[in-house]
Structure 1
């Protein structure tokens, strides 16, 4: 029995003919996107200029609508403006006119292996030379320190930075991570970057992390990206956080404790000790969550003075 087609690819894309290299950027919304950092970075790439869809995935075969219900409008007495989830590959050009592909949309809820095979079809059809993914995870780190990035790749020669981790970590999987693994098994290069987002900002847009991800993307994919718009957003968010901390001493104290912990780990790393030393454990998300409920409420509150 023939497997149902998961991806529909445009037959004629003359812009991609004769290219000696073609990177494809990968961002799947959902699990691996604390602070909306990767999704905002992907949207920034789309907003920078013209793009066109060259491949479309059949979302009906991949999406759990009851778990992630798409938005729609109810206008007085009727339903309207349904926004269906879209998982597409776009042909985009960077600031210097270099062509690249951008695969973005919601992470598939099911059929990850079939999705990986469908992406392989896209890679082979268009002659993609490297897949570069972006993601972000919440961590017990302060926003006042440089954003840490975990580098990963299915080919060690692709790595552009040193990993902060030692040994093996057992983590929840994602479609994005599985895809990198499978592409390596099929002989296709794939790499990526994961930004470490302050836990207390994980539910808010954090454009500073989007900037960091795109800066690493520029190096890895040899692209040029105009980041001026995102830098303005990041400055506004930073000012908002600073105002809130100055008015909430208890929350500021917790941030200061994170700063001390971060600096202690930095000193330990410089001294050759493991980041995951057993005598200096990272606090869990649950341990930090309670302290920052007020923080989130303060940043999103309807009354700025309150």
Structure 2
């Protein structure tokens, strides 16, 4: 049996912490709208932080499946973009310390990595682990974004819920290391929570700051951490205005969005109805709407160049 502590090293002095929250997100799994990536990057960009734990990416990653970028200059290699899986010590706007674990999703040794995360959590006295990501949903960008909270204990979810009724029951989905950590550490008695933000499916491949705002608002509400949000909210408002401008220029897209709005309103206000689809509005499939939106943006880009 391998020792999970062999997968990481402590960097510098690690202070004594009092029940810190650990936020985590790994790139490589489904993250519609870049929800989790934008949220964690925003925190690290705007708050004081330093790396206190580094994981052994050389053991955890498959370089041939996602090769790092190297820089060649004239006659020699001058740089390599080394992947990093690291734990940051961060302080919120009121000086409260918390932890942020980021990096590419490990390709191998998932169970050992989950044990290593637990070992770090034990060592630092972590009180709660929280993750967030985006999932594509047939919802319009003109309505408040919903989210599906999930966690190791029902009482952890009572303070946070998205608008409307959750569309999920019992489903089978591909695993991710984030969900495995939530599951394994939850079984070990940890408070572990996740937030799946419902991102409009036609925006799933784009960066959608509003989804990151929704995720961070949920995390703040459940943990009490205070984040700087003004710049991210401004970016969300700008992006939403640009999207609306593009959609209003296309009658086909405008009709499709109207249908999504009626479907959304029917679901959130009358979920007991058998048919929650918008009445009398021909609705395209998710793939068709995404294709229409992408085609419109491509045509717009061609006109602008």
Instruction: Tell whether the structures are fold-level matches, with TM greater than 0.5.
Output: yes
Structure 1 equivalent of residue 142 of structure 2: 144
Q: Secondary structure at the match of 1:46?
A: helix
Q: Paired residue for 1:58, among 56, 71, 82?
A: 56
Q: Does structure 1 residue 13 correspond to structure 2 residue 14? A: yes
Deviation at 1:56, TM superposition (A): 0.8
* Cα distance change of structure 1 residues 263 and 174 upon mapping to structure 2, 3 Å threshold: same
User: Does the Cα contact within 8 Å between 1:50 and 1:92 map onto a contact in 2?
Assistant: yes
RMSD (Å), alpha carbons: 2.3
1:215 corresponds to which residue? Answer: 217
Shift of 1:12: 3.1
TM-score normalised to the size of structure 1?
0.88
Deviation of 1:66 (Å): 2.4
Cα drift, residue 79 of structure 1: 3.1
1:27-82 Cα offsets, whole Å, 9 max, x none, are 11121311111111101111113211111111111212222222333334433332
* CA distance 1:22–1:279, shift in 2 (3 Å): closer
Aligned with residue 31 of structure 2, among 33, 39, 46? 33
Aligned to 1:172: 174
Q: 1:153 matched to which residue of 2?
A: 151
SS of the counterpart of 2:219? helix
Q: Which moved more, 1:27-36 or 1:68-77?
A: 68-77
Q: CA deviation at 1:203?
A: 1.0
**2 CA distance for matches of 1:74 and 1:233?**
35
Confirm or deny: 8 A CA contact 2:262 2:277 kept in the other structure: no
Are 2:140 and 2:257, in contact at CA under 8 Å, matched by a contact in 1? yes
- Residue in structure 2 matched with residue 82 of structure 1 by the alignment: 80
**Aligned counterparts of 2:255 and 2:277: Cα–Cα separation in 1:** 19
Q: 2:67 corresponds to which residue?
A: 69
Q: Deviations for 1:262-299, whole angstroms, at most 9, x for unmatched residues?
A: 12212332xx45xxx68759986434443333144257
Q: Of 191, 194, 199, which residue of structure 2 is paired with 1:189? A: 191
Kindly indicate whether the alpha-carbon contact (under 8 Å) linking 1:200 and 1:296 is maintained by their aligned counterparts in 2. no
Q: How far is 1:166 from its partner?
A: 5.0
CA distance in structure 1 between the partners assigned to 2:204 and 2:29 by the alignment: 12
Is the Cα contact below 8 Å between 2:267 and 2:276 reproduced in 1? no
Instruction: Report deviation, 1:3.
Output: 4.1
Change over 3 Å in CA distance of 1:303–1:58 after alignment to 2? farther
Aligned partners of 2:284, 2:57: CA distance in 1, in Å? Answer: 37
- Select the residue among 47, 50, 62 that pairs with 1:49: 47
- 1:259-270 correspondence runs (5 A): 259-269=261-271
Measure, in 1, the Cα distance between the counterparts of 2:78 and 2:299: 33
Comparing 183-192 with 279-288, greater Cα deviation is found at 279-288
Residue aligning to 1:290: 291
Relative to 1, partners in 2 of residues 1:173 and 1:97: Cα closer, same or farther, differing over 3 Å? same
Q: Structure 1 residues 8 and 285 mapped into 2: Cα distance closer, same or farther (>3 Å)?
A: farther
1:296 and 1:113 mapped to 2: Cα distance? 42
Distance 1:101-1:65 versus aligned 2 partners, 3 A rule:
same
Give ranges in structure 2 of 5+ residues lacking alignment: none
Counterpart mapping for 1:91-106 below 5 A: 91-106=89-104
8 A Cα contact 2:202 2:286, kept in partner: no
Count of residue pairs brought into register by the alignment: 296
